[in-house]
Structure 1
Amino acid sequence: MHEQLQSLADDFQSASERVHRLRQSVPPARWAERPPSGGWSVAECIAHLNLTAEAYVPRMRDALRQARAAGGTAPARFRMGLIGWLIHRVVSPGSRTRVKTSPAFVPTAADSADALVRRFDELQAAQQELLREADGLPLQRIPIASPFNARVRYNAFAALAIQPAHQHRHLDQAERVWADIQPRG
């Protein structure tokens, strides 16, 4: 697998491990508890990641079909393009930029912890499969419209890179929520 795609696969795997650590650490009855300072619960953070992946996976499948049809090969080094790079920076962990999400991506009701993690795992498997299918394709030449705003477009490689960065940002958030709500001993 292309080195950059393997790095993204590792990032997806790391996100999965973090979700499973949260599942083991946070009692199921507390997944929906919001922190005293406000914001999303652990369950809402994971539900948001699921909503996002559900929007990205079909777009990426279409992009991979387009890339196969376009022909050509992967470059030695993928580039995200300016818009993709900016979005990646904004959604990455540690970014101080706060962006209000689109209404379609605000979780309205959270499933049980088990159901959320099960769906997260299914979507992670789909995204890992997309990475395998993307290997060798000219991803940088295929544009994708953002599911958050159809007027915003970036290339397929950027879309693949944005997803795990976004996951880790919200997993940081979920871990902070648990730190805020867990009983002090």
Structure 2
Amino acid sequence: MTIQSQPLLDVLTGLSKEHIRFAETLHTLPDATLTRRPAAGGWNVLECMEHLNRYSAFYLDAIQTCIRNADSKPAAVYKPGRLGNYFSKMIHPDTSAKKMKTPKPMNTLNAPLSRSVLTEFISNQQQLTKLLEKAQQVDLGKEKTGTSLSRLIRLKLGDTLRFVVYHNERHTRQAKKALAGA
């Protein structure tokens, strides 16, 4: 399987901009709404967004370093790696709805949070959209990043970008469900 690089980056940028717009609408809601636990249980809105902030702390730096140190020219297509493609499909909410175990440092359940989580999320997403723009200048299949799982696991830049944006999509949808069920 190969993927056209530019259309992929356009889709990922579009999703990231949607995530920013969603977070901006959350600023208009009262704190009680943002911290209310959904009737079915699970994370509240702020916990969903903070979870994404914690992953952004690792991945934005990894992506930025990868792009800054890249020595490749852009390629029209890239072929996803086997592991990266698996992770991307596993995390995308349209291809996998099953619940996943969250690593303890990334679990935000009952964490003391304030609405500053939203400002941080918006800032992270703005940085991600800039990195997606810079990624147009490198080969998404040649350059690699580390993962939050292990220093030994490295993914193609295109796979990392897909994983990060799809993970954001998964949890912004979860936040929307938390709003609806709160």
Q: Same fold (TM over 0.5)?
A: yes
The aligned residue for residue 38 of structure 1 is 41
The aligned residue for residue 49 of structure 1 is 52
The 3-state SS of whatever aligns with 2:145 is strand
- Structure 2 regions of 5+ residues with no counterpart? none
Is 1:92–1:166's contact at 8 Å kept on the other side of the alignment? yes
Cα RMSD for the two superposed structures: 1.9
Is 2:24–2:122's contact at 8 Å kept on the other side of the alignment? no
2:168 is equivalent to residue 167 of structure 1 = yes
Sort the Cα spacing of 1:110 and 1:19 in 2 relative to 1 into closer, same or farther, 3 A.
farther
The 3-state SS of whatever aligns with 1:112 is coil
The aligned residue for residue 8 of structure 2 is 4
2:86 is equivalent to residue 82 of structure 1 = no
Q: Output the amino acid matched with 1:96.
A: A
TM-score by length of 2: 0.87
Is 1:47–1:110's contact at 8 Å kept on the other side of the alignment? no
Q: Deviations over 1:72-106 (max 9, x none)?
A: 32221123211111111111113123221212211
Separation (CA, whole Å) in 1 of partners of 2:12 and 2:78: 12
Separation (CA, whole Å) in 2 of partners of 1:138 and 1:110: 41
The aligned residue for residue 109 of structure 1 is 111
The aligned residue for residue 145 of structure 1 is 146
What is the identity percentage for the equivalent residue pairs of Structure 1 and Structure 2? 24
Q: Displacement, 1:143? A: 2.1
The 3-state SS of whatever aligns with 1:2 is helix
- Structure 1 regions of 5+ residues with no counterpart? none
Is 1:73–1:136's contact at 8 Å kept on the other side of the alignment? yes
Which stretches of structure 1, 4 residues or longer, exceed 6 Å deviation after superposition? none
Separation (CA, whole Å) in 1 of partners of 2:55 and 2:161: 12
Sort the Cα spacing of 1:110 and 1:79 in 2 relative to 1 into closer, same or farther, 3 A.
farther
Is 1:35–1:177's contact at 8 Å kept on the other side of the alignment? yes
